[in-house]
A = this chain, B = another copy of it.
Amino acid sequence: MSSTSITTITGITVDDIRFPTSKQLDGSDAMSPDPDYSSAYVIIHTDNPLLEGHGHSFTTGRGTEIVCAAIEAHRHLLIGRTLEEFISNPGAFWRHLTSDSQLRWIGPEKGAIHLGLAAIVNALWDLYAKREDKPLWRLISDLTPEQFIKCIDFRYMSDVITSDEALKMLKELEKTKSERIKQLEEQGYPAYTTSAGWLGYSDEKIQRLCREAINEGFTHLKIKVGRDLQDDIRRLKIIRQEVGYERRIMVDANQVWDVNQAIEWMKHLVEFSPYWIEEPTSPDDIIGHAKISQALKSYNIGVATGEHGMNRVLFKQMLQANALQFCQIDSCRLGGVNEVLAVLLLAAKFQVPVCPHAGGVGLCELVQHLSMIDFIVVSGTWENRITEYVDHLHEHFEDPCIIKNGRYVAPTRPGYSTQMKAFSRQQYSFPNGSIWKTNP
């Protein structure tokens, strides 16, 4: 397609899509015993009937309608705008989408309004990548450092990183970019699995899933903790017996503890050598995470957080305060690709590895691109970096992620791998899809 043609945004379609996952205890953790993995889903239509962008924001059932309303609320900021405006200055377009003076009140840049924004921004990047006939990771890897910088709104970041400084970092790595693209295409990006670790699974199921994970080539496994200490110890024993000590185990408390409680609880798990403790307390508590990081340092346990990290201002501070040792961006909670790129830059500046959150529905499809961009363009390394993978609901996507030997295979199809199959969207549409009509 000619890059000089003008593509105008003509409409959006918003869908509330829910999968009744709560029936199987998949995804059960200390805070979320019964999620129904869901998508607040948006299609951006253009005056080119062959070109549409798909984006979504992950949710867990009830409340998806609120995020859908948040997407709808951005309609007037999109209709009549062109894809070329977005492409020529993605950062300015992002600022435009986050600066509606009335919508801003109910964030700013957090909660439902920001989740809604994320779905839209992800759809814009899908649209852009489809038009350029490239997978997103490749589209962004092919940008010049100057173009990359233009994707980012540096508002509220300049005390820690300026665009000039970021440009210098990117230029330094640009020289070796093509080597890393080759490496990635040959080897894939390192992943870890959470499949075995949900609360509520039987011991036999845990053992079986551990063995499967090893057979599939995974070297890192994560399990949920925090509901009952004795149960955590019992499950960690089982898992260590299955996977040995040459593989890494991470534990995830899903925000269930207060700060001091987190430190005390983790002392009881030291013998199992967890690589990190994830979300030990409120995701908003920078100072709390810093205290926990400090306390667990001598045990060689890192702190990981970010799946509920609401925006770049939170991540900036988490990094400033040494509050995390693993930075877990979320592709749909941050304001889509643009803000993720901002956090990748911040993390690279502080030399903290980015290990994205995934699972749910559609998140693995998205984060693979983001980790690959981090590797090729921003941090330049996959040392100590692993991206979450859960083998769940991929069959509903047009371009499902592929795992080989415990690594994400670089996507080759154009777009951001966001597009859900039309039949799945229909069937799981809430409350009128056939799945919900028959199993209300």
Contacts and interface: CB of A to CB of B under 8 A. Distances in A.
Nearest to A66: B69
Contact of A317 (B35, B63, B287): B287
A101 B32 CA distance: 5
A131 interface: no
Contacts of A73: 62-63, 65-66
Nearest to A32: B101
Size bracket, chain A contacts: 35 or more
Copies in the complex: 2
Contact of A113 (B108, B111, B287): B111
A349 to B, nearest CB: 15
A105 B363 CA distance: 15
Interface string A23-49: 000000001111110000000000000
A403 interface: no
A67 interface: yes
A29 to B, nearest CB: 9
Contacts of A129: none
Contacts of A284: 109-110, 310-311, 313-314, 317
A313 to B, nearest CB: 4
Contacts of A102: 32, 34-36, 59-63
Interface stretch (A154-162, A227-235, A420-428): A154-162
Contact of A67 (B106, B260, B310): B106
A317 B286 contact: yes
A152 interface: no
Contacts of A173: none
B158 A105 contact: no
B158 A258 contact: yes
Contact of A106 (B63, B156, B255): B63
A34 B105 CA distance: 12
A259 B106 CA distance: 22
Contacts of A59: 102, 105-106
Given A63-B103, A66-B106, A113-B111, A156 B285 contact: yes
Interface string A83-119: 0000000000000000011111111111111110000
Contacts of A385: none
A219 B101 CA distance: 31
Interface in A144-165: 155-159
Nearest to A107: B111
Given A36-B102, A66-B113, 15 more contacts: A33-B101, A63-B102, A63-B103, A65-B73, A66-B66, A66-B69, A110-B110, A111-B113, A111-B114, A111-B310, A156-B285, A285-B313, A285-B316, A287-B316, A288-B313
Interface of A: 31-36, 59-63, 65-67, 69-70, 73, 100-115, 155-159, 255, 258-261, 281-288, 291, 308, 310-311, 313-314, 316-317, 320-321
In order of increasing CB-CB distance, the 4 nearest A-B pairs are A111-B111, A112-B112, A159-B259, A61-B102
20 contacts: A34-B101, A34-B102, A59-B105, A59-B106, A66-B70, A66-B113, A106-B115, A108-B282, A109-B284, A110-B284, A111-B111, A111-B113, A156-B258, A158-B259, A284-B314, A285-B313, A285-B317, A286-B287, A286-B317, A288-B313
